[in-house]
Chains A and B, each alone.
Chain A
């Protein structure tokens, strides 16, 4: 099926006062979410992130300011139609416990008056889309599903009428970390297919980093930063941001550095070279290794200084080298490269293209350096 393009969401000077409180829950918030973008709203509890989300589908009316969706002022639209045009996902508890999975998913289509001939195949399609077998799940009740399955149904329900905008209010907050990671990956996979405009609320910075195109950080109702995940990690000197990012911000930053950006050139030799001819190269190599390449530039193996010293110098490098393994590609994150180095207790890992052509190596020093450039 063809998914509709997303829509721009624009907030201008939006403020919300709740009655009986002198401090606004949301204070002069201006924010633009581009079409097809995933914007994650993050902040401590009570920072106004859920309020902001609910003002977009008018579950809460702003005290002042303008909210536009696709250029239209939402205050002038019928709230029912506005909401039906936006998928709404909350924690799994939001499923209707007295309706089957199929009835839950069919909520918006039924409100819109679709015929049951049109609804039935759509429900099956959505169940398959979120990775649940329609035959098995269609007629089950929410209570008989696991937390992760229920959350998938919640996403399917929000997508039922194919809305261009998705509002997600801590949708994966109630599931265990492993299931959450699964659901996040599924969400990213679906988002590539669907290209919705998504506003996603969470208090989990790791989740935000993983899913967001841009992250909007709220603090006491004010927007303090709206930027890409990588940029936010670079600004972690700000104490408010550092608080949200956590102690491991330096490590997190490595997830946004690709090894292709920090790879260094390395000494290489061809397979037929005798060991005697590589001592000079080995002594100059910063990681103490030389890389053995075939004529096409593909990596065959590595030779370390210790290994070369323990063998007679007339032997050929390809007889004594360590065969190539533990390879990574240039688009791997520096974080993963660091994990490889630690796991294999190596001084460096080789970086090759998908085809196996050597690009260079990444060592611990370069990862430290990469951490700074990000």
Chain B
């Protein structure tokens, strides 16, 4: 029960910041701009960007990673990880620009860029998580007559759940930050508040956007940390990454 205290605390702080900023804004020129509707709209759009891109990355990377570990040799695995590592070194803003060149402005463009960046951490952790399971344990399972899919579901997956979730956490936290740039391709999100605050030189707007982005990252990381804990089998170490 108390495990969720930090998560609740962070959500509370976020709420207070929003209320305070909107109140404060009523004494300034930003009164027109900083409304509850707009803040909530930006926040939910931000969450949408992160959720769609991260879930999309999970849906692709996890099965791909699991499949690659099923292949005997690590050759295909090496090639794919290498390609994604290169993609990973390209800054998000550059990917966003390239993505815009192909897809134009809008939500889709931002989601594709974020999705691309989230692929590697999840794929990488899926592969290394499954590979990290002790071969002796897998051999014992096979030697006792467990079918290959059962070895995967009952042995390899539970024992690597923590490492795989650590990859998901990394990807999600990364995406919360990168999603603040989505405003540049007209995809909205909390970046709208930050950029508007900067260009109009309105502190309450800027701070609301920035603090909410930061809190959202910490909040989601904490929440996924709980999920990671719940997925991890009893008595196994938790990986923090």
A residues whose Cβ falls under 8 Å from a Cβ of B: 54, 57, 59, 79-85, 88, 90-91, 93-99, 107-108, 111, 141, 143-144, 157-158, 167
Contact = CB atoms under 8 A, between A and B. Distances in A.
Contacts of B233: 98-99
Contacts of B150: 111
A337 B235 CA distance: 50
Contacts of B147: 80, 111
A150 B71 CA distance: 32
B74 interface: no
B145 interface: yes
A74 B28 CA distance: 84
Interface in B133-149: 134, 136-137, 139-147
A111 B146 contact: yes
B136 A111 contact: no
B145 A80 contact: yes
Given A96-B155, A98-B159, A141 B144 contact: no
Given A98-B158, A143-B235, A93 B134 contact: yes
Interface string B202-241: 0000000000000000000000000000000111100000
B136 A93 contact: yes
A158 B234 CA distance: 23
A96 B133 CA distance: 11
Contacts, number: 67
B interface, over-half SS: helix
B147 to A, nearest CB: 6
Contact of A111 (B139, B140, B144, B159): B144
B140 to A, nearest CB: 3
A111 B145 contact: yes
Contact of A98 (B139, B140, B142, B235): B235
A326 to B, nearest CB: 48
Contact of B159 (A93, A97, A107): A97
The 8 closest A-B pairs by CB, nearest first: A98-B233, A94-B140, A83-B145, A84-B145, A88-B143, A141-B235, A93-B136, A80-B145
A23 to B, nearest CB: 23
Contacts of B234: 98, 141
Given A80-B145, A94-B137, 19 more contacts: A54-B143, A59-B143, A80-B146, A84-B144, A85-B145, A88-B140, A88-B144, A91-B136, A93-B134, A95-B137, A96-B137, A97-B159, A97-B235, A98-B233, A108-B144, A111-B147, A111-B150, A157-B144, A167-B143
A81 B147 CA distance: 10
A57 B141 CA distance: 12
A108 B235 contact: no
Contacts of A90: 136, 139-140, 143
23 contacts: A54-B143, A81-B145, A83-B143, A85-B145, A88-B140, A90-B139, A90-B140, A90-B143, A91-B136, A93-B137, A94-B136, A94-B139, A95-B137, A98-B158, A98-B234, A98-B235, A107-B141, A111-B147, A111-B150, A141-B234, A143-B235, A144-B235, A157-B144
B67 to A, nearest CB: 22
A109 to B, nearest CB: 11
Interface string B42-86: 000000000000000000000000000000000000000000000
Contacts of B144: 83-84, 88, 107-108, 111, 157-158
A85 B144 CA distance: 8
B134 to A, nearest CB: 7
A91 B136 CA distance: 9
A119 B236 CA distance: 25
Nearest to A54: B143
A142 B99 CA distance: 51
Contacts of A111: 144-147, 150
Nearest to B140: A94
Q: Which of B143, B159, B235 has the most CB of A within 10 A?
A: B143
Contacts of B136: 90-91, 93-94
A59 B142 contact: yes
A93 to B, nearest CB: 5
Contact of A107 (B134, B146, B158, B236): B146
A301 B141 CA distance: 61
Find the residue from A80, A143, A157 having the highest chain B CB count within 10 A. Answer: A80
Of the candidates A81, A82, A98, the one having the most CB atoms from chain B within 10 angstroms of its own CB is A98
Interface string B98-124: 000000000000000000000000000
Contacts of A97: 137, 159, 235-236
A95 B137 CA distance: 7
Contacts of A107: 141, 144, 146
A99 B153 CA distance: 13
Nearest to B159: A98
A42 to B, nearest CB: 20
A263 B143 CA distance: 49
A54 B155 CA distance: 20
B89 to A, nearest CB: 35
A139 B195 CA distance: 57
Nearest to A57: B143
Nearest to B155: A96
A337 to B, nearest CB: 43
Contacts of A158: 144
Contacts of A85: 145
